[in-house]
Amino acid sequence: MSDKIKINLEIGQKHYPLTINREDEEKVRKAAHRVNIRLNAYRSHYTELTMDNIMPMVAYQFSLELLEAETKNDTGPYINKIEELNTLLEDNL
């Protein structure tokens, strides 16, 4: 049986009730905090925009960062090279 808890997150001055695994609470709250930091930065820079216009910009920025991190952590070429070297070693032994 999983240990679930109910929490309320505030993101962009709105409250969102969530049910999460207890062990994920710190991570979930940290993620919300990062979103709020980004939202506040955009709101202070683009004072004429509404939250409805800022939220997609923040989502886009996080998505772009995630894609860049995935590219940096792409182990596929390394795995292919290791398999190639293993084949060479097996052929020569």
Report residue 74 CA to chain centroid gap.
16
Burial of 52 (0-12, 13-18, 19+ CB in 10 A): exposed
In this prediction, residue 7 carries a pLDDT of 97
pLDDT at 1: 52
Q: What's the confidence (pLDDT) of residue 84?
A: 86
Residue-level length of the chain: 93
pLDDT per residue, tens digit, the chain (93 aa), is 569 999 999 999 999 999 999 999 999 999 999 999 999 999 999 999 999 999 999 999 999 999 998 888 777 778 888 888 888 888 887
